[in-house]
Amino acid sequence: MLTGAVPWPAEFARRYRREGYWPDETLARLLREPARVQGERTAVVSRGARVSFAELDLRADQQAAGLRALGLQGGDRVVVQLPNSIELLVLCIALFRLGAIPVLALAAHRRAEIGYLCEHTEAAALVIPDTHLGYDHRKLARQVRTAVPGLRHILVAGAPAEFTSLAEVRAPAAEMAPPDPGEVAFCLLSGGTTGLPKLIPRTHRDYLHQLRGTARAMGLGPDGAYLAALPLAHNAALGCPGALGALDAGVKVVLAASAAPDEVFGLIAAENVTLTTLMPAFLPLWASCAELFGTDLSRLVIEVGGARLEPDVALACEKALGCTITRWFGMAEGLLCFTRLTDPPRVRLQTEGRPLNAADELRVVGPGGEDVAPGGVGELLARGPGLLRGYYRAPLYNAGAFTTDGFLRTGDLVRMTAEGNLIVQGRIKDVINRGGEKVPAGEVEDHLRAHPDVGDAAVTAVPDGSLGERTCAFVIPASGRPALRELRAFLIGRGLAAYKLPDQLELVPGFPLTPVGKVDKVALRAGLASD
């Protein structure tokens, strides 16, 4: 296995294979079957362009050969930062075929994140768009190239300037030795860890199983269509079953640039979309626009997850939209719990359901690691055929993030109903869940402390009407009275993604401490409420 990834112990690997969770196949074969049996059917629709299964398959083969001709090979890491596009899908499948490992960054990431990812993975290549939403990613690439001299290639979708054009990375399709099914296929970014982002290695077989199991559970069949309105770099839109699961099942993928109603409602109607994925923050907006657009959503299933969803909101929105909602508690780390279409509405709309696999083991534990009484609230620990055993190149962090017997400490507080359905109650990890986008508090604090006027900083979530949570920075000034605008500009200057910038600033003379001497963020938030 890729050096720096943590393999499953042999007895677990044997069991997961024996029980059928781990197929002896790889993501390199994705598209092969649909391209053979239904080559002319549309595989992807994006911004008015349509590509058939046969064409997508061929383009992936040609790009794999082109990447090999550039000198890339199996095991090489490639940081991929592309918005939802046909190019992104072609590139990922080409890299799978080559056995090279896409490291999926968000289009919103900037120099701090991309530089770190290239350095940490010792990436051989970085792939960027020319510009996206008014930002010139080639500027970012120039800065990263200076900081990471090992980066051999910068490939650009669109106008390449001094770099290589991704469209020209193409050569006649050639036979490639298939990767090992147990090998790492790609890396996702964790949303929930301290400090710098951690990387989650996903193997060919564990991800294929996820694609197929979730496609089956969501009833995704040949006459369906999947709408990707969230970034494909996110597990929810990539593989639950998402775009890759749809392609694997021979189902059309419709790409949207965002989940904005004026973009998605037209696409849902025109392309007969039957399945999509949404963060809860968008649901009331969709519901309020439903009448305006008058789209018939009776065939549509919406997987809603990634952040807290109030049961009454789920119920009201399902009614207003005339669709079917399933609730999801998922993690890029591989744990997927969700309500099934066959569940009674009480379960489907009020809980986060059950794990994908019968072999997933869940424990709910108290602060000392002891199992709580049935129905009690505690931290969720999880282990299973889709769940990583360690973050990439993070041995010290892994020692705390997993129990000695390999359960991931999710940092989420849950309770389990008598029927075995999960209900998320909160979390103990230091992350802000900003409309489904995860902001690691520690990472933002470290950047804030670098400002000369900041003595110390503590970043925490505060409730927000539309996002669910927003980011509040409590700052002890070192000098003067730093302003929110100035601190945000400072963080942008340090190359931090915009979604991680604080929404609110509170200047305080000092931080309350917990009995063990940590900053007491609960007390900080409470102080705010009573102001």
Question: Applying CB under 6 A, which residues contact ligand OOB?
Answer: 191-192, 235-236, 240, 305-308, 328-332, 352, 410, 412, 424, 427, 433, 438
Which residue minimizes CB distance to ligand OOB? 330
212 burial via Cβ count (<10 Å: 0-12, 13-18, 19+): middle
Count the neighbouring beta carbons within 10 Å of the beta carbon of residue 455.
Answer: 15
53-64 burial code (b ≥16 CB/10 A, e <16): bbbbbbbbbbbb
Q: Identify whether the C-beta of residue 461 lies closer than 8 Å to the C-beta of residue 472.
A: yes
The distance of closest approach from Cβ of residue 364 to ligand OOB in the complex, given in angstroms and rounded to an integer, is 14
Bond from prior residue into 181 cis (ω within 30 degrees of 0) = no
Nearest CB to ligand OOB, comparing residues 100 and 208: 208
The distance of closest approach from Cβ of residue 91 to ligand OOB in the complex, given in angstroms and rounded to an integer, is 22
| CA neighbor of 163 nearest in space, from 152, 174, 155 | 155
The distance of closest approach from Cβ of residue 231 to ligand OOB in the complex, given in angstroms and rounded to an integer, is 10
Nearest CB to ligand OOB, comparing residues 272 and 403: 403
Q: Any bridge partners for residue 209, and if so which?
A: none
The distance of closest approach from Cβ of residue 208 to ligand OOB in the complex, given in angstroms and rounded to an integer, is 16
Nearest CB to ligand OOB, comparing residues 6 and 314: 314
Nearest CB to ligand OOB, comparing residues 235 and 276: 235
Q: What separation in angstroms does the CA of 215 have from each of 15, 23, 238?
A: 23, 15, 12
The distance of closest approach from Cβ of residue 337 to ligand OOB in the complex, given in angstroms and rounded to an integer, is 8
The distance of closest approach from Cβ of residue 248 to ligand OOB in the complex, given in angstroms and rounded to an integer, is 17
Strands 42-46 and 252-255 turn out to be: parallel
Nearest CB to ligand OOB, comparing residues 240 and 467: 240
Nearest CB to ligand OOB, comparing residues 62 and 433: 433
> CA-to-CA distance for 259 and 59, rounded, in angstroms?
28
> 311-321 vs 283-293: helix axis angle to the nearest 10?
20
Count the neighbouring beta carbons within 10 Å of the beta carbon of residue 367.
Answer: 8
The distance of closest approach from Cβ of residue 478 to ligand OOB in the complex, given in angstroms and rounded to an integer, is 33
> CA-to-CA distance for 79 and 44, rounded, in angstroms?
23
The distance of closest approach from Cβ of residue 402 to ligand OOB in the complex, given in angstroms and rounded to an integer, is 15
Q: What separation in angstroms does the CA of 402 have from each of 12, 149, 194, 336, 388?
A: 16, 34, 14, 18, 10
Nearest CB to ligand OOB, comparing residues 132 and 234: 234
Strands 468-477 and 324-330 turn out to be: unpaired
| CA neighbor of 458 nearest in space, from 266, 471, 280 | 471
Nearest CB to ligand OOB, comparing residues 21 and 490: 21
Q: Which two tokens stand for residue 35?
A: 């391209």
The distance of closest approach from Cβ of residue 328 to ligand OOB in the complex, given in angstroms and rounded to an integer, is 4
Count the neighbouring beta carbons within 10 Å of the beta carbon of residue 107.
Answer: 21
Nearest CB to ligand OOB, comparing residues 124 and 356: 356
